[in-house]
Structure 1
Amino acid sequence: MTYRDVASKQVFTWACVSIGARMPVAMAPLALVFLVRERPGGYSLGATLAAVYVIGEIIGAPLLGLRLRPERARPQLAAGLATGAAGFAGLGALPGAHPMVLAAFAVLAGIAPAQATGALRVLLTTLVPERAVAQALSFESLLVSGIWAVSPAAVTGLALGVAPRVPLLLAAVLLVSSAAGLWLLPAGWDAGDGDRAGGPLLRPLLAAWPAYVTGAAGLTTLGLAELVLPALLEQRGVGVGWSGPLLVGLSLGAGLGAFLYGLRSWPGRLRTHSVVLLCGTSVCVALVALIPAAAGIAVMLAMSGMLQSGALLTRNLSLREALPPSALAAGYSLMYAAAGAGYAATGSLAGVLLRVVAPSTAVLVGVALTLVLAALGWWGEVRRAGRSAQGVQPVAPPGAAAVGSAPGPEGPSVSGGSDPECRL
């Protein structure tokens, strides 16, 4: 069980398709701000368009994810990516249009491709041996960290060095290339014999709510830290220009954490890993708010990113255990929406808090909120496991043996690390 199991031509193709689908998501908010910043009230309009785009993602991920079916994944994903490309192209082609027209394009660009994240994650796990699923998800997290580290610099360079519309036109091209690349990958994935009967998906999706709560908690603290960071640096007497390099360090830390995650197996239950890593993330972010020196802030941000990536990976594995194969794409989409909603709420909370308290206090409030969400998610996991132990048949994880009783969703890890579902 090493990263050699992930190194294949199919996974490389998947990575190219994934970059085309996900880089526009990372580029969009900042690109929208640059698109309209020279108009009267441009920064306010840009922030509004970015918020509208995120709201579109939050709506589109569960709405389209619930309608996605494994046997029709390719045409559905391609249609969504192509429609999202039309939204980005409209924004780039008509930068001087009425704000309502731009908002409509932003909503379209956010909604249409929103189910791609969950579907591509499921598709990745079908391209590797069952024993390498944890490493595959670690590779995905590492790839996404790289995308988010590169995107802000790419948007800034293109918008200021070429033209404000160029990043959005590039996003449209990337989505079209991603849609075309889907035909180099499998058309879909196996939903499992028990799911072909067309059983309802909503009940198991709702039963997995603790994973969504802890997934949102993983972004709440870091989201608030990112949004408050410029004000926090100003409070500490550090140049605001250091915000960019510090956030790049956070992304690099997240990538390192994802890589370390896949190097070995970890004892204990996934819910325990999750709460421990979330608490560790919270401690690091709290120290970001308390340490006066820029070097200390940089170290704590990098460490918080490293721990947060591990926490989110445990949530992906827990969700994979808790849901039937036919519901996995919808489950990942719901988690994506929950994380997006948490991030959007964090932005609103930051705006309110910065009016009444110091930036450091605002970050500490975010830490307290994360701990509450982590405790709620952990309680939900324990409650669900208790019901399973009392005789409620849990959903068998993908790849579980067909003979005998299925293990509980938080069963103990297999000795010797042969169970990829019970890694960190």
Structure 2
Amino acid sequence: MPYRELLTRPVLTWCAVTTLARLPVAMAPLALVFLVRERPGGYSLGAVLAAVYVVGEIVSAPVLGLRMRAERARPQMAGGLAVGAAGFAGLGLAPGAHPAVLGGLAFLAGAGPVAVSAGLRALLTGMVPERTVTQALSLESMLTFGIWAAAPALATGLALGAGPAVPLLLQGGLMALGLAGLWLLPAGWASEPQRKDGTARRALLAAWPVYVLGAASLTLLALAELVLPALLEQRGIGIGWAGPLLAGFSLGSVAGSFLYGLRPHWPGPLAVQSLVLVLAVTAGVALVALVPGALAIGAALVAAGLLQAPAMLTRNLALRRVLPPSALAAGYSIMYAAVGAGYAASGTLAGGLLKVVAPSTAILWGVGLTLLLVAVAAVGERRLVRRGPAAQEAAEPAEPVRKVRR
């Protein structure tokens, strides 16, 4: 079994710390809505707070990612988790505060820990042998989709059963535990010595097609999540099916992550794999807009989820190919910001279109936006390949890597 080599104490510890750090992030948007829903205009205020939280993530991701140093990433990740824990705890302790105060705390909760996910991914790939990196990233993908599948139910159950502030207090506590758990992991990952000639920054800029393709992929997820309830009403299907159908998408993604990791290599260049997979996911989401009945929609979503996870994995593997180790966390953070921007752009487009067209038409317009982004990424990828040795030279370390102590 290809995953057997990953069943080690360090990797299992990494899984526990990652769960503690990422579960609060996955719970955040819904928890913010429940926090203020009983106030006047509560749902609108909750949506604004969730948007501010996401803006904090998008703005902060590239800034903090560029500042993260591979050989001493632990203090920077600990600082980010501390800010996030304080932001979530503040929201839970002062749910009746002025909206501006809640917005500031939501911004901090989103901005503080945003680079931690990228740092943990780079840390994982540095902990395992090179031959198992694909399996390690597949394991991370399964863990991530599992967290995002469980988070809405956890946030809803706690908010309705124990109180609207309880999810936020739990999120703050979990992040604090994750902060403490960082000291059970290595302090950083191997990296070439820092150079002052801008090589790493040029490599980050040269990888822009990978970021654009990531944004394209997340536009599809936004369509699936945000337009699905309206589509079900259009089809005469009970809106209560939205939750199970989206859970099917997440479960399909978990299965796709597992299956992709069963082989260390798949046919074709990573760039081609990623393009083909994103186009296949696009076809699946388009089918959601065209097929009738909950069963057919569910089958299309499961198929889209099955391919979405490998599409994400190929993008992460592609970044490892074109970036030097010192720039990996920054590259992953920029990817995070790009996919967040893609999600926000698609959600905004869909929200505006729903006012004037049917939900199925709104999905197809979103699919068109995705295809446009895919085309831009494909053109950029061809130019990157044509540069050949020059592009590779920008990504090569100048000197032998250092060893990182625990």
Q: TM-score interval w.r.t. the shorter chain? A: over 0.9
Once the two structures are aligned, what percentage of the paired residues are identical? 63
SS of corresponding position for 1:381: helix
Separation in 2 of the partners of 1:64 and 1:28? 20
Q: Deviations over 1:339-394 (max 9, x none)?
A: 111111122111101001000001111111111111211211111111116x6653
Does residue 306 of the first structure (1) align with residue 306 of the second (2)?
A: yes
Separation in 2 of the partners of 1:380 and 1:43? 41
Structure 1 match to 2:262: 263
What displacement does 1:401 show? 12
Judging by fraction of residues, say which structure has more helix: 2
What displacement does 1:395 show? 4.2
Does residue 197 of the first structure (1) align with residue 195 of the second (2)?
A: yes
Structure 2 match to 1:213: 212
Contact 2:257–2:310 (Cα < 8 Å) also in 1: yes
Q: After superposition, where does 1:216-227 map in structure 2 within 5 Å?
A: 216-227=215-226
Q: After superposition, where does 1:162-241 map in structure 2 within 5 Å?
A: 162-192=162-192, 195-200=193-198, 201-241=200-240
The alignment covers a number of residue pairs equal to 398
Does residue 354 of the first structure (1) align with residue 354 of the second (2)?
A: yes
Contact 2:291–2:297 (Cα < 8 Å) also in 1: yes
Contact 2:202–2:394 (Cα < 8 Å) also in 1: no
Matched to 2:353, the amino acid is L
Structure 1 match to 2:159: 159
Structure 2 match to 1:124: 124
Structure 2 match to 1:370: 370
TM-score between the two structures when normalised by the length of structure 2: 0.95
Matched to 1:37, the amino acid is R
What displacement does 1:197 show? 3.5
Contact 2:70–2:326 (Cα < 8 Å) also in 1: yes
SS of corresponding position for 2:137: helix
Contact 2:206–2:391 (Cα < 8 Å) also in 1: no
Contact 1:321–1:397 (Cα < 8 Å) also in 2: no
Contact 1:275–1:375 (Cα < 8 Å) also in 2: no
Structure 2 match to 1:144: 144
Structure 2 match to 1:96: 96
Q: Deviations over 1:98-157 (max 9, x none)?
A: 000000000000001010011100000011110000000000000000000000000010
RMSD: 1.6
Separation in 2 of the partners of 1:68 and 1:198? 16
Structure 1 match to 2:404: none
Matched to 2:32, the amino acid is L
Separation in 2 of the partners of 1:81 and 1:360? 40
Contact 1:320–1:397 (Cα < 8 Å) also in 2: no
SS of corresponding position for 1:288: helix
What displacement does 1:220 show? 0.5
Does residue 17 of the first structure (1) align with residue 20 of the second (2)?
A: no
Q: Deviations over 1:26-85 (max 9, x none)?
A: 100000000000000000000000000000000111111111111221011101101110
* Distance 1:393-1:136 versus aligned 2 partners, 3 A rule: closer
Separation in 2 of the partners of 1:304 and 1:401? 42
TM-score between the two structures when normalised by the length of structure 1: 0.91
Separation in 2 of the partners of 1:127 and 1:189? 8
Contact 2:138–2:313 (Cα < 8 Å) also in 1: yes
Matched to 2:195, the amino acid is A
Contact 1:321–1:395 (Cα < 8 Å) also in 2: no
Matched to 2:360, the amino acid is S
Contact 1:322–1:394 (Cα < 8 Å) also in 2: no
Matched to 1:228, the amino acid is V
Q: After superposition, where does 1:276-295 map in structure 2 within 5 Å?
A: 276-295=276-295
